[in-house]
Structure formats: structure tokens, C-alpha cells
A = this chain, B = another copy of it.
């Protein structure tokens, strides 16, 4: 089988690095271009010594340019760029017939007004929002298969949505009671020279940030509302902890009057029994990020607390894996008719 010509645009950050890790060895992908404004002209294996003997290590970073990528026969481009910047190159790529998997926030929200509220600038390409597919494969495999433009979900949203969506669709929860607490590894903040991300500032530290309206809240509430069939507002509290990667999320919500605890487990089973990248834990078992780092799995556990009537949902993923690069590759697999876990079989 001919391998699919792939580009990674903005490949010099941590998400770019994870995409490289997965795609350089993907049996059906061929990375033909990697771009980076900062690293243009340098070889991939020099910028990332980890890949120094990987296939493609000699490839040279280029400036991002839709024209050149299309000319190189690129069939699909992964965008690992800041929001705002991603939309700028997505448009010309799509115009040239290149399918786009965007890992920024640019195409995750349906309403330009919500984008502007949360990202502080008018949406750079509102005309594309209608066709963009929010790329949560467990939720929208069919639409992803046919999409030209997929918006890979944020890392926090993935860890919050996957446990909650089946329960909201089954009408088991009181939506207004949802509180989600997340702890993220520092790689989620990106690879940028920022005092607050120094080793000495993160080590032996734990802190909440982005309160009360972290940007990811916008897509979380959008998708929860769609599942509930009514607007849902939640409390979301992200924290930074001293690990390189991994997100642990603990979500609590009150179960609706009359709902049996077993219904929780059944809804999760119903949704994910056959999901390739979701691992449901036994009732009462805990999730631990160390079991999912560098994989595309999300582990989901749950408990019911009869004293308070609340369900406790525990989810663990790698923020760079199922929370970013791995999930984007999962979408890629669907878009090109491949096995859903192709190139993702790593533990």
C-alpha cells in the first residue's frame, strides 16, 4: 500500500515532537515535510536528538508554506501551531486539496462569538467552522472519516468529555452539579522560554491556574451541552503538577434522583466496550497517569458515593497522546480508512 504523504506544520514544540514520534514510524504514513519558523534549515535529528536514527532524521525543517507543501504532494497536514496562526495556513492548505488536522483551538468551537470571548480575538476563518469536525473519535468517528478539516480536541477536554458524555446522553446526571478537577504535566504549557515553566518553578510545586474560565472550558461546555441537549455550565479547575506529561482528571456530579449506581457503569460500558483507545476500569478502581503516558489510551474509572449522591469519574491520559498527538493520529487513521490504532500500538 502506498503510504500517505503527511506534513507536520509547527513541529518544533512538544506536540510536534509527539506527532513525529508517532508518524515517523506509522506503517501507513510518510512524513514528507516538517516546518518550523524557528528551526527552518536544521535537520530533524539535530533539533530532536531522540530521533537521530529514526527514518526521516535527515529531513530538514522548512518555513511553513501551503504552496510548497501542496507541491510536495502532501495529502494531509497536521497543524501544531498556536491558535490564530493555525487558521491562517489551514485555509490555503484546504484550498489546495490538502486535508487538515488542526491541533490548535481554531476550529473546535462552533460559534465565532465564543471563540472571541475565550481567545480574545475575532475568529480568523469563520467560514470554515461549519465544516470543521470536532475530532473526538469515540464520539464522531463517522464525521471524522469524511472530514476535510478536523479539529483535534484539547487535552483537558478529552479527559473530561469522554467520561461525562455517555452519562449526559443517558440523562443520568444533574448537569449544573458538575465539577471537574484536572492535574496536568508541564509539557501541556508548551515548549517556550517562560520563567514560570522553569524546572525550579515547577518542581516541588502544585498550583491551579486559568481560573475561573480556562480557554478549554469553551469547548468542554459546547460538547457537554450538545450531549445534554441543553446548555451546560460547569466548574473546571486545571492544575499544574511536576510531571512531564499526563493528565489526571477527577470529575464529580450529582446523579439524578432515582438513577441506580449501576446505570453509570452500564452507560460507560455501552459507550466504550468496543472503543479501541478507552480502557474502562473496574468500579472503584483508580486511574493513574503512569499507566497511560506515551500511549493513546484514556483510562476511565468510576465510583458512586451514596452519602452525597455523587458519581466520581476518574480519567487518566497522556496530554500529548490521547490529549493531543495520539488522538490526532487516531483521527488521521479514520480519515484515511486505516485501522483505528494503526501506528498507536505503543506501550
| Interface positions of A (Cβ within 8 A of B) | 14, 21, 24-25, 49-54, 176-177, 179, 181, 183, 185-187, 191-195, 197-209, 211-213, 233-235, 237, 239, 241-246, 248, 250, 252, 276, 279, 284, 286-295, 297, 299, 303-305, 307-308, 310, 312, 314, 316, 345-347
Quote the shortest CB–CB distance from A284 to chain B (angstroms).
8
Write the chain B residue with the least CB distance to A210. Answer: B286
Say whether, besides A297-B53, A347-B51, A237 and B312 are in contact (CB < 8 Å): yes
In the assembled complex, which residues on chain B have CB atoms less than 8 Å from the CB atom of A209?
A: 286
In the assembled complex, which residues on chain B have CB atoms less than 8 Å from the CB atom of A183?
A: 183, 206, 239, 241
Pairwise interchain contact B279-A53, C-beta atoms closer than 8 A: yes
In the assembled complex, which residues on chain B have CB atoms less than 8 Å from the CB atom of A53?
A: 276, 279, 297
Pairwise interchain contact B207-A287, C-beta atoms closer than 8 A: yes
In the assembled complex, which residues on chain B have CB atoms less than 8 Å from the CB atom of A304?
A: 212
Pairwise interchain contact B206-A198, C-beta atoms closer than 8 A: no
Write the chain B residue with the least CB distance to A188. Answer: B200
How many subunits of this chain does the assembly comprise? 4
User: Can you report 26 A-B residue pairs in the complex whose CB atoms are below 8 A from each other?
Assistant: A52-B291, A52-B299, A54-B347, A181-B237, A186-B199, A191-B198, A193-B198, A197-B198, A200-B244, A203-B243, A204-B244, A204-B245, A204-B246, A206-B243, A206-B246, A207-B248, A207-B290, A208-B248, A208-B287, A211-B286, A211-B314, A212-B308, A235-B305, A235-B308, A235-B310, A241-B243
A30 to B67, CA, bound (A): 47
Write the chain B residue with the least CB distance to A246. Answer: B206
Say whether, besides A49-B291, A179-B179, A203 and B242 are in contact (CB < 8 Å): yes
In the assembled complex, which residues on chain B have CB atoms less than 8 Å from the CB atom of A276?
A: 53
Given A49-B288, A183-B241, A204-B244, 9 extra CB contacts under 8 A: A51-B347, A52-B299, A179-B179, A181-B250, A187-B200, A191-B198, A199-B242, A208-B250, A235-B252
In the assembled complex, which residues on chain B have CB atoms less than 8 Å from the CB atom of A305?
A: 211-213, 235
A276 to B177, CA, bound (A): 36
Rank and list the top 10 A-B pairs by shortest CB-CB distance, nearest first. A212-B305, A205-B290, A199-B202, A206-B248, A207-B288, A181-B181, A49-B291, A193-B193, A186-B199, A50-B291
- Which of A51, A191, A208 counts the most chain B CB atoms within 10 A? A208
Pairwise interchain contact A250-B242, C-beta atoms closer than 8 A: no
In the assembled complex, which residues on chain B have CB atoms less than 8 Å from the CB atom of A205?
A: 243, 246, 288-290
Quote the shortest CB–CB distance from A178 to chain B (angstroms).
9
A297 to B276, CA, bound (A): 30
Contact of A206 among B54, B212, B288 (CB under 8 A): B288
Pairwise interchain contact A211-B303, C-beta atoms closer than 8 A: yes
Say whether, besides A179-B179, A208-B314, A292-B50, A24 and B248 are in contact (CB < 8 Å): no
Pairwise interchain contact A308-B234, C-beta atoms closer than 8 A: yes
Pairwise interchain contact A244-B203, C-beta atoms closer than 8 A: yes
Say whether, besides A179-B179, A204-B293, A308-B235, A241 and B242 are in contact (CB < 8 Å): yes
Say whether, besides A200-B14, A200-B191, A248 and B244 are in contact (CB < 8 Å): no
Write the chain B residue with the least CB distance to A176. Answer: B308
In the assembled complex, which residues on chain B have CB atoms less than 8 Å from the CB atom of A25?
A: 345-347
